[in-house]
């Protein structure tokens, strides 16, 4: 056993020493020899330093600075580097937007086209009686009303219908004179011509007096046929219509010229429409109009503009317009309300664009013309007349050119700051560039909603894309419906764009967690 142990021991020492020597040699080789069996990693290129162009106003105003500074609110100006002006096309005056962004904004175009600008002018009106069709019944002699045949206001009467029986001594005397003269003419038919002429003139004078007193031809013929003078005669209606006024009372005495009845022919009526001052210049006498009456919603009436009054109601800023129309069956009653629609506008075709294509800043009007895929050119235009949907373009856009009719104000927001800064460059200021980002996000709290102006007040947290601190500020709404489901105090998250320098418009509003607004720093608490 002893000799066996002694024989194995040298073998073990040799194995341990050989393993140590081999491991040390491999470690040395790995540390000193080049790595032939593995690729040498290439050195990463150093990031290229960006060239600083200038610092721009953090609120988007047309103000730049070559040095860092703060605005009146204490906000830092934003650094603008070379290559951050991708919003502009190489062609002067054009704006380039990526196809993806165009689709996201929902841009839609429509070609300018030649159209006849006709629009509907609407006005409120009321039915009135045609003043030319009103007649008064006023006897031309003195007498008494013996009996009434028509004894109610509003009663319809026919032309020649008996209105009342009248007694007048003068009328009886005139009848007798005519009968005597008529008998004298018959008795002197064999007498000399001078005698016959004198008697005939007397008979004619009596007849003229009766006619002047509005005695009907039927009654005159009865007298001429040898009838006797009647104590009372029937006074008849001079026209067909309705009785507007009745003063006659049975047994009353009347004097010559006293109005006993007033009768109106309502087969044709007027509608007096109050047209607003801004529309009256397009209304012409003789044009056809459509009318609807509240009492007959299923019926439509057609009339003609007969007269435009020369006066303006200073309180309502409207001008009365008289419309004549037929009234078959007497459906239209005086004082009924009517709605008038007049198609007005030029008859010649002019270049027009949709109303939604015009961006009106108050001092100028701009239309965005599509020059290619993602390329838009803002053009200042001069406008003319307009209809309900289209407006005439007198200068700036040609027939057939595609103009942006949807999301145009978002494209304008994309390019507006650049245009403002470019204007400064033309005057010798720093190079102009717009921020790369168009839309920005923030979280905060809805403080107030102004439905009249279409704006809201929001207290929001910091906006990293604009380097804004937390603050409370006013925004405009791209659509008033964005704030319908929110009440003041609601936690919201918003997406907004800059429509023009200093005007920020919310394009998206969702419920969210209100961003914590940092409280003003408190003085340090002293130790006890």
CB-based contacts of 480, cutoff 8 Å, min separation 6: 451, 454
Q: Write down the pTM of the prediction.
A: 0.47
Rg (CA), the chain: 49
Mean pLDDT confidence for 294-303: 90
Task: Report the CATH number of the 122-129+266-347 domain.
Answer: 2.40.30.170
The one-character DSSP state at 372 is E
- pLDDT at 307 (0 to 100): 95
Token pair in block for residue 29:
């080789």
Mean pLDDT confidence for 223-242: 80
Q: Is there a contact between 373 and 99 (Cβ–Cβ < 8 Å)?
A: yes
- pLDDT at 513 (0 to 100): 66
Neighbours of 353 (CB within 10 A): 26
- pLDDT at 429 (0 to 100): 42
263: nearest Cα among 448, 130, 441: 130
Q: Is there a contact between 66 and 54 (Cβ–Cβ < 8 Å)?
A: yes
Token pair in block for residue 203:
């008979």
State the pairing for strand pair 296-308/288-293: antiparallel
Q: 14 falls in which pLDDT band (50, 70, 90)?
A: very low
Phi and psi angles of residue 443, each rounded to the nearest 5 degrees, phi first: -120, 145
Q: Is there a contact between 442 and 460 (Cβ–Cβ < 8 Å)?
A: yes
Identify the residue with better confidence: 278 or 8: 278
State the pairing for strand pair 288-293/337-354: antiparallel
Q: What does the DSSP assignment read for 179-223?
A: HHHHHHHHHTTTS-HHHHHHHHHHHHHHHHHHHHTT--HHHHHHH
To the nearest 10°, report the CA torsion of 149, 153, 158, 161.
20
- pLDDT at 254 (0 to 100): 92
Q: In what order do the strands lie in the sheet with 64-65?
A: 64-65, 52-56, 78-81
Q: What is the pLDDT of residues 119-164, one digit of tens each?
A: 778 899 999 999 999 999 999 889 999 999 999 998 999 998 999 9
Count of alpha carbons within 13 angstroms of residue 71, beta-carbon side: 18
Residue 271 β-bridge partners: 127, 323
Token pair in block for residue 253:
């005495």
Q: Is residue 425 scored above 50 in pLDDT?
A: no
For the chain, the structural domain boundaries read: 122-129+266-347, 135-237+247-253
Q: What is the pLDDT of residues 262-289, one digit of tens each?
A: 999 999 999 999 999 988 888 889 999 9
- pLDDT at 494 (0 to 100): 92
Question: Quick one: residue 5, left, alpha or beta (phi over 0 = left, psi -120 to 50 = alpha)?
Answer: alpha
Q: Is there a contact between 166 and 139 (Cβ–Cβ < 8 Å)?
A: yes
Residue 306 β-bridge partners: none
Q: In the chain, count H helices and then E strands.
A: 6, 29
Identify the residue with better confidence: 494 or 87: 494
């Amino acid at each position: 056993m002893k000799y066996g142990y002694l024989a194995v021991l040298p073998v073990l020492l040799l194995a341990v020493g050989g393993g140590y020597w081999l491991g040390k040699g491999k470690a040395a080789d790995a540390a000193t020899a080049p790595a032939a069996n593995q690729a040498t990693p290439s050195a990463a290129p150093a990031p290229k330093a960006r060239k600083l162009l200038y610092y721009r106003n953090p609120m988007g105003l047309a103000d730049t600075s070559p040095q860092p500074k703060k605005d009146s609110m204490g906000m830092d100006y934003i650094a603008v580097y070379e290559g951050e002006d991708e919003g502009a096309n190489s062609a002067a005056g054009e704006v380039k937007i990526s196809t993806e962004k165009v689709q996201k904004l929902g841009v839609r175009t429509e070609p300018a086209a030649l159209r006849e600008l006709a629009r509907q002018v609407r006005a409120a009106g009321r039915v009135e009686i045609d003043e030319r069709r009103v007649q008064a019944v006023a006897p031309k002699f003195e007498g008494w009303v013996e009996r009434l045949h028509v004894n109610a206001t509003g009663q319809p009467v026919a032309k020649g219908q008996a209105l009342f029986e009248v007694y007048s001594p003068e009328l009886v005397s005139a009848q007798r004179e005519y009968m005597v003269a008529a008998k004298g003419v018959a008795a002197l038919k064999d007498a000399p011509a001078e005698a016959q002429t004198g008697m005939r003139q007397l008979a004619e004078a009596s007849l003229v007096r009766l006619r002047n007193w509005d005695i009907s031809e039927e009654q005159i013929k009865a007298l001429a046929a040898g009838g006797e003078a009647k104590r009372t005669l029937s006074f008849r209606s001079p026209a067909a219509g309705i009785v507007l006024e009745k003063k006659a009372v049975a047994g009353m005495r009347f004097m010559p010229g006293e109005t006993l009845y007033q009768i109106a022919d309502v087969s044709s009526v007027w509608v007096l429409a109050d047209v607003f001052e801004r529309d009256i210049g397009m209304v012409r006498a003789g044009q056809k109009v459509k009318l609807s009456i509240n009492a007959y919603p299923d019926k439509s009436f057609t009339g003609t503009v007969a007269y435009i009054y020369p006066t303006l109601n200073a309180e309502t800023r409207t001008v009365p317009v008289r419309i004549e129309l037929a009234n078959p069956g007497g459906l239209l009653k005086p004082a009924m309300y009517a709605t008038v629609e007049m198609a007005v506008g030029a008859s010649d075709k002019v270049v027009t664009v949709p109303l939604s294509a015009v961006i009106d800043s108050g001092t100028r009007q701009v239309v965005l013309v599509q020059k290619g895929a993602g390329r838009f050119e803002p053009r200042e235009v001069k406008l003319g007349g307009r209809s309900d949907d289209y407006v005439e373009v007198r200068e700036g856009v040609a027939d057939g050119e595609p103009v942006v009719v949807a999301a145009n104000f978002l494209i304008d927001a994309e390019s507006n700051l650049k245009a403002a800064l470019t204007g400064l460059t033309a005057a010798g200021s720093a190079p102009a560039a717009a921020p790369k980002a168009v839309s920005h996000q923030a979280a905060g709290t809805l403080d107030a909603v102004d439905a009249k102006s279409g704006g809201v007040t929001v207290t929001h947290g910091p906006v990293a894309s604009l380097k804004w601190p937390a603050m409370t500020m006013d925004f405009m709404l791209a659509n008033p419906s964005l704030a319908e489901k929110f009440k003041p105090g609601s936690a919201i998250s918003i997406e907004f764009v800059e429509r023009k320098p200093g005007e920020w418009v919310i394009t998206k509003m969702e419920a969210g967690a209100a961003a914590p607004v940092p409280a003003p720093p408190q003085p340090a608490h002293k130790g006890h």
